[in-house]
Structure 1
Amino acid sequence: MIKNLKYLLTLSFLVSLFSFNANAQVKKGDLVDGISAVVGNEIILESEVLEQQNYAQQQGAAQTNKCEFMDGILSNKLLIYKAKKDTLIQDRSAAIREQAADKYSQIVSQFPSEKAMLDAYKFRTSYEMKNAIEKMDIDNYYGQQKYALVTEKVNITPNEVTDFYNAYKYQLPQVKDEIVLSKIAMYPKLTEAHKDEIINKLKKIKQDILAGDSFDNKARIYSEDPGSAANGGLYTNINRGKMVKIFEATALNLQEGEISEPVESEFGFHIIQLVKKSGKQYDARHILLKAEPNAEEIATAKAEMEKIKEDIKSGKLTFKEAAFKYSDDKNTKFNAGVMPGEDGSDRLEKANLNATVAYQIAGLNKGDLTDVFVFEEPNQKKAVTIMKVNEVIPMHALDLATDFERIKGFALNKKKGEVLEKWVKEQLPDTFISINNRYKDCNFKEDWSKSAIIK
């Protein structure tokens, strides 16, 4: 069975947030949570095994044997345990803990209230959930760092890729319908009158705060920042260099408690209050009003994009030249507008396309341009967009002639997996591993009994 890096390493770390509190998922009559194994001083809970098993089932995994998941979790816990003792790996635990508060605030912002969020994720308190976030992120960091060190010298030759393909081609997944797209995305420009309207609203909010209203309450009511609005606009323990330049420069030029005049960033318009400054960190509140274009501004941008489209069709500009000259999408404008796929290639799986994009490209062939349309970018900004179809790749079995890089990735991950297995075997004699007796009948891939004390 071929396991890629993503499955091998991250399954036990990156289960959905619902798995933070696995006891909520255990059904009546099931084993109540308890310690299933210990690797060094790393504990594996029964709930962790059950949640990964449930998650794999939800994702359509063919194999969901609990023993297999325990086998994988033991390997990952061994990576984490050894990573924390490895002096070559930087200890970032403190920094990760500081980031947990920001991540928690972002999650809260997606719910009507903090209580609603805690109820949805089955946590009793915010402290409990923040601890869960911290632990997951710390384990993820150490596991990935150690894995990278263990496998850093692994490489693969073209002949090895060919040999791998010949041996496993009937087990490799089939490539689903894919497409290669380029885009030009233009953010509609706000008129000066519209900007003044937003700025004057922020000035009025600032006046109300200076007159005695709470910044915290005003932020909860008016701020359009999903990462901080529910927390009264507050960001804590901000490391210098983390925020956009205009935000940081404004905040650090204030006295503690002082509120800035409205400033414009790529996210919209803000008023900012410096709460506390200490060394290389600071706390700040802000109220963000997004620069949402109105119908007139969108229509102006559409007319400009229609002209660009005509210039491309007439040959006055290539799509690459137009993307570089006009696109506001920094991730694609310097790459001829080509949209990157999840695996780092330029191929996008059709089934995973945004519904708006899927509608626009329906029925188009190689070389065709879409209509001009409005699309909400991942940064939640509305963009007037056109796209070009560069390639249409029908569903097919992986083939060396057309999918060499993808096959190479599978082959490399398999080789890395073999190196990891060898490393695990080498660590067993020097590592305390205790596995609960309920797993005594498991036929583990690794011979954990070489160091395990079965209870």
Structure 2
Amino acid sequence: MNKNVKTTLLLTLLMVFFGIHSQAQSQLKTGDLVDGIAVVVGDEIILESDIEDQATFAKQQGAAVTDKCEFVESIINNKLLIYEAKRDTLIENRSAAIKENAGQKYDQILGQFPDEKTMLATYKFRTSYEMKNAIEKIDTDNYYGQMKYGRITDKADVTPNEVTDFFNMYKFQLPEVKDEVSLSQITMYPKLTNAHKDEIIAKLNKIKQDILNGESFESQARIYSEDPGSAANGGLYKNIAKGKMVKPFEAAALNLQEGEMSDPVESDFGYHLIMLVKKSGKNYDARHILLKAEPNDEEIASAKKEMDSIRTLIMDGKLTFKDAAYRFSDDKQTKFNAGIVTAEDGSDKIEKLNLPPTIAYQIAGLNKGDITDVFQDVAQQDRKTVTIVKVDDVIAAHQLDIATDYNRIKQMALNKKKNEMVEKYVKERLPNVFISINDRYKSCVFKTDWRKTADNK
């Protein structure tokens, strides 16, 4: 119930993309698809296989891609933004960081497989280099496209009159709102007993002693670490910027000398054994071995009992849900906001179809003001939790109306204005950007006359 993308979602998206990528490769090998340059925008090249891959990927995500010419034009627009972003001195060049992060994502995915060969075979990549390049390309385009879009639309805003005008003009075209709910939650992480903590710490101390006796930190990380993002890489994280890691980890790492190893360190992720590899200015390299603090059945039962007591106080009117969330919730994203759960766009209205299955099941049949029984769930970093959820509101499916959906309509009007600003920017930049389109798209009628621009170079 948080806004951060979970590892499983990342892996699913990458699986879909890589599956598409491999299909295009196999088509190339069998001669079904003759690959080549479809479009050149500045020094950005769009291959025929890129267009096929992105179209298939869009369809997999539920988008309608019925007009290939329209789809190609959207890709050209995006590439022009990316080309301009790379030339914009106010946009930070993050190529090195993106490349490093691509390697870390690769290692994170690798941690889900028994070995590299199995992973590459699953994603249909021939080499690790090829797969890392694919990840890096996705991240690079996303970064530069988003940064340039943000720079162009930074000062965009709409007045109440503009929102009203937008609604009056498009109200018969606006989508219907599906069934929604507004929810609040109180989430607690079951606390480990001292005996359980001591057991984990003792295991880490044993690993540390084995390393001091000659075992390599890297090999022990591969064997014991429960961090999917680094275990396969010997526990290594490179070029870590200060502030990126959780505070206990960073404090311990930066208090070490190069080559020195910490005692067990506790964080929200579990318990770490950390070795500082290198310090370089504001960045550092470190290896770690993570043992997650997984609660056992007894500890989960104890947390459920405590949460049930809190629920009883709320139901009896002795404690408000808002105060209980602030006092007892371990979810930092909601505890300071009266426990209110927000969607990706920041709204407190969430479509029922987009609810996690566990939450959807728990609130089924409940009405406004009802509170679920205590139930077990899984939160960020796959940590086990015990949770109660309050149904703050139930909104039936309806046509958008400015009286009840003003903020949503305002966002739509703002998005329209932003898109118009980007469209204007693209047209202004066209005379200064080389664009070449393959003749196989000569029958396309584009909104922007890309060919005329190219011919006039």
Give the 5 Å matches for 1:178-217: 178-217=180-219
Task: Answer yes or no: is 1:324 the counterpart of 2:326.
Answer: yes
Structure 1 residues 30 and 361: CA distance shift in structure 2, 3 A: same
Conserved 8 A contact 1:35-1:44: yes
Partner of 2:35: 33
For residue 432 of structure 1, report the CA deviation from its aligned partner: 0.8
Cα deviation per residue 1:293-319 (whole Å; 9 max; x = unaligned)? 111111111111111111101111100
Conserved 8 A contact 2:24-2:53: no
Query: Which of 376, 380, 401 in structure 2 is aligned with 1:399?
Result: 401
Partner of 1:295: 297
Q: C-alpha separation between the residues in 2 aligned to 1:306 and 1:275?
A: 46
For residue 220 of structure 1, report the CA deviation from its aligned partner: 1.9
SS in 2 for 1:247: helix
Conserved 8 A contact 1:277-1:283: yes
Partner of 1:130: 132
SS in 2 for 1:370: coil
Task: Answer yes or no: is 1:23 the counterpart of 2:21.
Answer: no
Conserved 8 A contact 1:23-1:32: no
Partner of 1:252: 254
Partner of 1:170: 172
User: RMSD over aligned Cα, in angstroms?
Assistant: 2.1
- Once the two structures are overlaid, the 10-residue window that deviates more, 160-169 or 342-351, is 160-169
Partner of 1:106: 108
Partner of 1:378: 380
Partner of 2:338: 336
Partner of 1:87: 89
Conserved 8 A contact 2:187-2:385: yes
Corresponding residue pairs, total: 442
The amino acid that maps onto 2:122 is A
Q: C-alpha separation between the residues in 1 aligned to 2:322 and 2:17?
A: 39
SS in 2 for 1:379: helix
Conserved 8 A contact 1:53-1:65: no
Q: C-alpha separation between the residues in 1 aligned to 2:397 and 2:347?
A: 17
Give the 5 Å matches for 1:71-82: 71-82=73-84
SS in 2 for 1:131: helix
Task: Answer yes or no: is 1:139 the counterpart of 2:131.
Answer: no
SS in 2 for 1:375: strand
For residue 372 of structure 1, report the CA deviation from its aligned partner: 0.6
Partner of 2:10: none
For residue 29 of structure 1, report the CA deviation from its aligned partner: 5.3
For residue 453 of structure 1, report the CA deviation from its aligned partner: 4.4
For residue 48 of structure 1, report the CA deviation from its aligned partner: 1.4
Q: C-alpha separation between the residues in 1 aligned to 2:261 and 2:89?
A: 44
SS in 1 for 2:387: strand
- Once the two structures are overlaid, the 10-residue window that deviates more, 68-77 or 253-262, is 253-262
Q: C-alpha separation between the residues in 2 aligned to 1:372 and 1:425?
A: 56
Conserved 8 A contact 1:179-1:390: yes
Q: C-alpha separation between the residues in 2 aligned to 1:61 and 1:270?
A: 43
For residue 334 of structure 1, report the CA deviation from its aligned partner: 0.5
Q: C-alpha separation between the residues in 1 aligned to 2:212 and 2:339?
A: 47
Task: Answer yes or no: is 1:150 the counterpart of 2:160.
Answer: no
Partner of 2:348: 346
For residue 327 of structure 1, report the CA deviation from its aligned partner: 0.5
Q: C-alpha separation between the residues in 1 aligned to 2:312 and 2:190?
A: 19
Structure 1 residues 149 and 279: CA distance shift in structure 2, 3 A: closer
Give the 5 Å matches for 1:352-431: 352-431=354-433
Partner of 1:52: 54
- Once the two structures are overlaid, the 10-residue window that deviates more, 371-380 or 270-279, is 270-279
Cα deviation per residue 1:124-154 (whole Å; 9 max; x = unaligned)? 2222222222232222222112212222233
Task: Answer yes or no: is 1:234 the counterpart of 2:236.
Answer: yes
Conserved 8 A contact 2:325-2:335: yes
Q: C-alpha separation between the residues in 1 aligned to 2:153 and 2:182?
A: 32
Q: C-alpha separation between the residues in 1 aligned to 2:20 and 2:155?
A: 34
Conserved 8 A contact 1:53-1:64: no
The amino acid that maps onto 2:333 is N
Q: C-alpha separation between the residues in 2 aligned to 1:311 and 1:59?
A: 44
Runs (5+) with no aligned partner, structure 2: 1-13
For residue 100 of structure 1, report the CA deviation from its aligned partner: 2.2
- Once the two structures are overlaid, the 10-residue window that deviates more, 426-435 or 93-102, is 93-102
Q: C-alpha separation between the residues in 1 aligned to 2:362 and 2:191?
A: 24
Cα deviation per residue 1:56-110 (whole Å; 9 max; x = unaligned)? 2223333432211110111111111112222222222233223222222222223
Cα deviation per residue 1:168-218 (whole Å; 9 max; x = unaligned)? 223222211111110001111111111111111111122222223332222
Task: Answer yes or no: is 1:267 the counterpart of 2:269.
Answer: yes
The amino acid that maps onto 2:80 is L
For residue 262 of structure 1, report the CA deviation from its aligned partner: 1.1
SS in 1 for 2:398: coil
SS in 2 for 1:369: coil
Conserved 8 A contact 1:22-1:48: no
Query: Which of 146, 157, 160 in structure 1 is aligned with 2:162?
Result: 160
